[in-house]
Structure 1
Amino acid sequence: MKSNIIRSVLSATALGVLSSSAMAHGDEEHAKPRTFDASKVEATAFGQEGNPKKVSRVIHVGMSDHMRFSPATISVKRGETVKLVVRNDGQILHEMVLGTKEALKEHAELMKKFPEMEHADSNMAHVKPGKAGEIIWQFTKAGEFEFACLQPGHFEAGMVGKVLVK
């Protein structure tokens, strides 16, 4: 039932985005800098947007045109707020999206159908070649989660990593 709700929300979001005149997922600027607002933070199965004032650690992650993240696995403590600095060392647009394995798979399928879909959530960073982006995230639940590049074809090529929350 939960996956049906997620699927419905993703479908509704995609339709809403597609009906708007502002669609971008290619080389255009993807998201405006986020301003943290504690009243708008939404809990997810893999954590929530983190308060920049409570960052306890910075983790650097590289992305390459070999469709890999480096490191491919990161470990954090439950409750920890980290800043993920995501660097694109390649020549094409890449992104890092945090989520559960199932949610990332569903989102990747949606991206295949709607490659120009615009989205800018707190759990993702879209990074042009030679640039860096960041995600500030609080990992509130223990478990194994993932991050992936959901640009069409990248996820399928294996551009996926793991987050181990202990």
Structure 2
Amino acid sequence: MKLHQLTFALAAGLFVAGSALAHEGDGHAAPATTTGHVHADGHEHGHGDTDAIGVAGQPDKVTRTVNVDMTDAMRFNPSSVRVRQGETIRFVVKNSGQVKHEFVLGTEAALKEHYELMKKFPEMEHADPNQITVAPGQSGEVVWQFTKAGQVDFACLQPGHYDAGMKGAVKVAAGKPAKSAQASGGHADRKH
């Protein structure tokens, strides 16, 4: 029994070390915490790729709410969202399907990298503030501040879902966000 535990510990250590080396020099900042993907065995695989897409938003700074529906047709509705640089968005993500789906914000390169990892480790759960795994019939939230103009992609990284086209984009326009009706609880974004 001790040999099995030692083998497992060594394998887990090598995976974590290999993951850290795989990210070395790729332009990603080190994560501020050790959150990331959580395997069924409890160990985590963190990613620090959020610098390019913004920062975790503060719930009391939300400028508006965007409702996103995830379906078993492997689509997000809406699949395109427009925001202003500096805006903090509360994404209320609903899984209206019968299988587990995810909402993960990232660069296209980071999403593809994470997707390849998910294909190898499909039991992984996401624990970073820019992503959420949602069980069938359930909802969850991601609060995110978009600090840079440009495009931020989002996708479902469950094996097979990304390849089936379950992805979308947030278009971030340069400039300051307009004043919002935050006191009234914000408003849902419409498909553009």
Range class of TM-score, shorter chain: 0.7 to 0.9
Q: Which runs of 5+ in 1 are unaligned?
A: 24-41
The alpha-carbon distance between structure 1 residues 132 and 118, as it changes in their structure 2 partners (threshold 3 A), is: closer
TM-score by length of 1: 0.77
Q: Which moved more, 1:42-51 or 1:135-144?
A: 42-51
- The CA deviation at 1:45 is 0.3
- The CA deviation at 1:3 is 6.3
The alpha-carbon distance between structure 1 residues 132 and 57, as it changes in their structure 2 partners (threshold 3 A), is: same
Match of 1:101 in 2: 108
Q: What secondary structure sits across from 1:110 in the alignment?
A: helix
- What amino acid sits opposite 1:22 in the alignment? G
Cα distance in 2 for partners of 1:165, 1:142 equals: 5
Match of 2:96 in 1: 89
- The runs of 4+ residues in structure 1 deviating greater than 2 Å are 2-9, 20-23
1:121 partnered with 2:128 = yes
1:49 partnered with 2:56 = yes
Cα distance in 2 for partners of 1:163, 1:147 equals: 8
Is the 2:126–2:132 contact (alpha carbons within 8 Å) kept by the matching residues of 1? no
**Taking every aligned residue pair, what percent have the same amino acid on both sides?**
54
Match of 2:158 among 151, 157, 164: 151
Q: How many residues align?
A: 143
Cα distance in 2 for partners of 1:6, 1:152 equals: 24
Q: What secondary structure sits across from 1:133 in the alignment?
A: strand
Is the 2:125–2:133 contact (alpha carbons within 8 Å) kept by the matching residues of 1? no
- The CA deviation at 1:161 is 0.4
Cα distance in 1 for partners of 2:41, 2:27 equals: 23
- The CA deviation at 1:43 is 5.5
Q: What secondary structure sits across from 1:145 in the alignment?
A: strand
Is the 1:94–1:126 contact (alpha carbons within 8 Å) kept by the matching residues of 2? yes
- The CA deviation at 1:55 is 0.2
Is the 1:68–1:160 contact (alpha carbons within 8 Å) kept by the matching residues of 2? yes
1:57-103 Cα shifts (integer Å, max 9, x gaps): 00000000000000010010000001000000101110100000110
Cα distance in 2 for partners of 1:81, 1:165 equals: 11
TM-score by length of 2: 0.67
Match of 2:41 in 1: 21
The alpha-carbon distance between structure 1 residues 17 and 54, as it changes in their structure 2 partners (threshold 3 A), is: closer
RMSD: 2.9
- The CA deviation at 1:7 is 9.9
Is the 1:97–1:149 contact (alpha carbons within 8 Å) kept by the matching residues of 2? yes
